[in-house]
Amino acid sequence: MTDRIHNFSAGPAVLPEPVLRKAQEATWNVAGSGIGIMEHSHRGKVFDRIIDEAVANCRTLAGIPDDYSVLFLQGGASLQFSMIPMNLLPADRTADYLLTGVWAQKAVKEAKILGGKVHIAASSEATNFDRIPATDEIAYSPSPAYVHLTTNNTIYGTQWRSEPAVPAGVPIVADTSSDMYSRPIDVRKYGVIYAGAQKNLGPSGVVLVIIRNDLVEAGPKTLPTLLQYRTFAADKSLYNTPPTLGIYLMGEVFKWIAAQGGLAAMAEHNAAKAKLLYDFIDSSEFFRGTVQQDSRSLMNVTFRGPTEELENMFIAEATKRGLDGLKGHRSAGGMRASIYNACPRAAVEALVKFMKEFEQAHRAAAARS
C-alpha cells in the first residue's frame, strides 16, 4: 500500500488521520452495533445518538446559543446561494452582497435569478480580488434584508479578519465553507452561517447551517418543502434521508478539534503554519504572493513563480515529491497551498523545503526570463 502523501487540495481536502481511522472502523461496524454507518437507518437509535452528539459538539465548540438551530443539509454551499434569498429576501426588500471572489459572484447570480433586488455594497473585483474591501469602501443600501459575505476565498486566497460592521438589526449571512471552525467565531454576530463540509469539517455531501430561529420561520411557506429551513429544523435534519456518513464524520471532526484544544488552539495552529509559508514567500526572490498582506488567507496560500513554464515545472516536480494539489484554480493560475485545520505542520515544512530547493535549482532560468 502506498503511504499517504501531503494533500494541499482546496477541496475535497485533507481530513484528520484519526478521523479517517475511525471512518475505517465505522464503515464496518459503528458503535459496536455490528452494522456499518452507511447501512444504518437514519430512523434508528444508533444514528439518533450519532446526530445528537454531532449537534451537541458543534454547539459546544462555538458556544452556539439555544435560539439558533444546527442543521445538516445537502446540495453543497451552492444550494444555499439560492435558499438564502428564497427564505430571507422578500420581493420588496434588497439584499447587500460583499463581493470578494468567485463564490460571492455565484451567490449574487443565484439571488438575481430568483428576481431578488441585489446591491453590491463593496467589491475588490477591480484589482482581481487581491484584497478584502476596506471599511470605507462599503456602502450599504437603505435597510437591507441581510448582508452576505464569503469569509474566506479559496480561489484568490483572501480572508476577512473580522466581521464588517453592518446596519443595526441587519443579519449577516456568511458562507464560511473554507474557514469554518478554523478559529473562534461569535455566532451572535450572524443570522445565518453555512459551510460545505469538504474543506474543514468533513467529507463532501453535507452542509452545516447554523441559523437563528426567527430566520428559520421567515421563509414563505409556499416554497417547496425541501427548500424551507423550517422543514429541517422541525425534524432535526431528518425530514428525508440525510448524508449519514458525512454527519458521522463531521461529528468525529468536532471531537478531534476539541481534542486539539478547541477553536482558539486551532487558530494558533493555523496561524503558525501560514506564517511559516508566507515568511518564506516574502523572503524569496523567486516566488511572490498574490494577495495584499492584510487580506491574506490562513487557509489558502496563493503564489506565483517567475514564469508559467517554471510554475508548471514546480507543480509537476512537487507532485512527484508527494506534495499534491498545488495547482492554482484555473481562473487564477499559479499555485495554491490549502492548509486547512487537518493539514499538519510537517506538510508545510516539507513544502517550504521543496520551494527552497526548487528556487535554488532554477534561479538562473528565472534570471533569464
CB 134 within 8 A of CB 111: no
Of 22, 96, 103, 117, catalytic? 103
- CA distances (Å), origin 121, targets 56, 171, 318: 36, 15, 40
Name which of 337, 272, 267 is nearest 304 in CA terms: 337
The rounded radius of gyration (Å) of the Cα atoms in the chain is 21
Q: Strand 192-196 and strand 207-212: pairing? A: antiparallel
Nearest to 295 by CA among 119, 121, 128, 102: 128
Going by C-alpha positions, the residue among 43, 4, 15, 11 that lies closest to residue 251 is 15
How far apart (Å, rounded) are the C-alpha atoms in residues 260 and 257? 5
Catalytic residue selected from 96, 117, 160, 175: 175
C-alpha cell at 49: 445518538
Is 52 tagged catalytic? no
Distance between CA atoms of residues 207 and 71, nearest Å: 8
**DSSP SS3 for 298:** coil
Catalytic residue among 199, 256, 273, 327: 199
22 is catalytic: no
Residue 273 falls in the annotated catalytic set: no
- Say how far apart CA 158 and CA 197 lie, in whole Å: 19
Three-point CA angle 156, 152, 214, nearest 5°: 145
Catalytic residues: 103, 175, 199
